[in-house]
């Protein structure tokens, strides 16, 4: 059973997942701090290129299965048109109400 994005407890993470699932690049960019960073499977990636390829250019979507007590960690079924569906873990660093860094990888 998945957790609807509007029930995620951390507001910045809630906005991130909502924008990602809507395919809304502008709203997604607004969830990030200037200079936000990310990693995928332990390797730092260039955020804009990665999100263009893995999310916006390929119909990326997250179905959140669980969240950590602090709301900064998620386990989600992530799917896109390139890789299909996979169980992923996400960890967020929030600064000033926006995502400063996110780390994702297979769960």
- Tell me how many domains the chain contains: 1
According to DSSP, the β-strands at 43-45 and 32-40 are: antiparallel
Q: What are 31-55's pLDDT values in tens digits?
A: 999 999 999 999 999 999 999 999 9
CATH number at residue 90: 3.10.450.50
How many whole angstroms separate alpha carbon 80 and alpha carbon 92?
21
Q: Report the pLDDT value the prediction gives residue 1, as an integer from 0 to 100.
A: 75
Return the C-alpha torsion angle 90, 46, 34, 8, nearest 10.
-20
Tokens 């993470």 label which residue?
13
Q: What are 74-99's pLDDT values in tens digits?
A: 999 999 999 999 999 999 999 999 99
User: Is residue 56 over pLDDT 80?
Assistant: yes
Q: What is the mean pLDDT of the chain?
A: 97
Domain span at residue 36 reads 5-106
- The pTM for the full model equals 0.96
């Amino acid at each position: 059973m998945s957790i609807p994005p509007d029930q995620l407890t951390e507001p910045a993470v809630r906005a991130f997942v909502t924008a990602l699932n809507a395919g809304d690049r502008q709203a997604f960019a607004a969830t990030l701090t200037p200079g936000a960073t990310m990693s995928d499977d332990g390797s730092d990636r260039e955020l804009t290129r990665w999100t263009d390829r893995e999310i916006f250019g390929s119909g990326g979507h997250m179905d959140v299965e669980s969240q950590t007590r602090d709301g900064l960690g998620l386990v989600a079924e992530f799917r896109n048109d390139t890789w299909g569906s996979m169980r992923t873990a996400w960890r967020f660093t929030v600064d000033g109400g926006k995502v400063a860094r996110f780390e994702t990888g297979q769960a």
